[in-house]
Amino acid sequence: LEDFAAKRNELLADLADFQQSKQFIEETMKTISDLNEEKDAHSEMIQQINMDKQELEKIMNSAREEKRQMEKSISQKYDEIYRLLELTNELSRESGVAEENLITPSVIPPNKITPNMPAMGASSTSSGVPQLFRHFKANSMPAVVQRAMFNFDSMLLQAAPAMASRPHTLANPFSPSTSAVTKIDHQSPPMKTCQSCFQQIHRNAPICPMCKSKSRSKNPKKPKRKAAD
């Protein structure tokens, strides 16, 4: 009987150890399976990230190429519009238009794309105008100028959408600005009227430069009282 009880207890202990080992293996296998699923999920995520990155790089390269093409096109248009401006001003001069009525380069938006490109100035006017236009008769000049002005306005209208995002105020270089006039007015010296000849003289002048009379102040200063001893 004692041997039976001992064997039974030993069997129960072995069964408990077996069950515990089996449960441990099952839990470990489940954990490994979960880790593999998480690894696959991260792998798919990393793969998707790499695909998105490659797609963005393709789009960026395409945008850079488009930007280079736009820079080239805009530079050509700047060169063309400066040549047309010089040609228009040259034809206007030959037809008798005053210098102050010519088109100024300030009407053209500043070139911020290729700022190193030299703008055509007045010195390059004679060399930039084709000799063919110099042989036109004087009576045909106004029509030529009118056509050139029409082409110039058309180019400005084409460039208007790009300039709409930023307001551009055109200043007239031949007329003084309001701030300059105000500044000049503020700098005028204070004046007063001479009591003898009634001419305008400087407020602090001791002697009138017109009649040489001593200037008298309307509000003479009172003599200071001497302090009592």
pLDDT tens sequence across 159-211: 545 444 444 443 343 344 444 334 434 445 567 788 887 777 767 667 777 77
Q: Using CA atoms, how far apart are residues 22 and 226, in angstroms rounded to an integer? A: 121
- pLDDT score at 72: 92
Domain boundaries, the chain: 2-163
pTM over 0.85: no
Cα separation, 47 vs 39, in Å, equals 12
Q: What is the mean pLDDT of the chain?
A: 71
Q: What is the chain's length?
A: 229
| SS3 call for 193 | strand
Helix or strand run (H / E) with residue 202:
strand 200-202
pLDDT in tens, 40-66: 888 888 999 999 999 999 999 999 999
pLDDT at 26: 94
Distance CA 91, CA 76 (A): 22
pLDDT at 19 over 80: yes
Q: Are 194 and 201 in contact (CB under 8 A)?
A: yes
CA–CA separation, 222 and 198 (whole Å): 25
Can you spell out the DSSP letters for 100-125?
A: GGSPPGGGSPP--SSTTSPPP-GGGH
- CA 88 vs. chain centroid, Å, equals 29
The pLDDT assigned to 221 comes to 53
Tell me 119's DSSP state.
Answer: P
With a CB cutoff of 8 Å and minimum separation 6, the contacts of 95 are: 138, 141, 142, 145
N-term to C-term CA, the chain: 143
